[in-house]
Amino acid sequence: GQQVMQIPQYQHVQEGEDFTTYCNSSTTLSNIQWYKQRPGGHPVFLIQLVKSGEVKKQKRLTFQFGEAKKNSSLHITATQTTDVGTYFCAVDRGSTLGRLYFGRGTQLTVWP
């Protein structure tokens, strides 16, 4: 079964609006990774969160890891057309073997 639930599956926004995607797990996570896949491209690693309550920023992107380490979010402020793509969260099971379980992804469409 799915290790992590990601919502929403699709999001359509006008350029300049904000966007958020969420990942939720029923179990405590050791860490969570976020990837972005442009249309026609391959997933590209964005960031990894490890600590409870951690917040990291990359320009207009803000990543959060919940206090209980069971959920995470990716927020984009003032979306641009270059933000178009599918955003995936990915988790492991606390193992160091490197196997990741990807969420279903959120497809972001940005209208100019």
Partner 1 sequence: EADIYQTPRYLVIGTGKKITLECSQTMGHDKMYWYQQDPGMELHLIHYSYGVNSTEKGDLSSESTVSRIRTEHFPLTLESARPSHTSQYLCASSGTGNQPQHFGDGTRLSIL
List contacts with partner 1 (CB under 8 A).
30-31, 33, 41-45, 48, 86, 88, 90, 92, 96-100, 102-105, 107
Q: Are 65 and 56 in contact (CB under 8 A)?
A: no
Instruction: Write down the least CB distance from residue 76 to partner 1, Å.
Output: 19
Q: How far is the CB of 87 from partner 1 (least distance, A)?
A: 12
CB 100 within 8 A of CB 79: no
Q: Which string of b and e fits 15-35 if b means at least 16 CB within 10 Å?
A: eeeebebbbebeeebebbbbb
CA angle 69, 50, 105 (to 5 degrees): 70
Q: Which is nearer to partner 1, 66 or 105 (CB)?
A: 105
Least Cβ distance, residue 10 to partner 1 (angstroms):
9
Measured from the CB atom, the residue of 53 and 94 that comes closer to partner 1 is 94
Sign of CA dihedral 82, 83, 84, 86: positive
> Nearer Cβ to partner 1, position 16 or 94?
94
Min dist. Cβ of residue 27 to partner 1 (A): 16
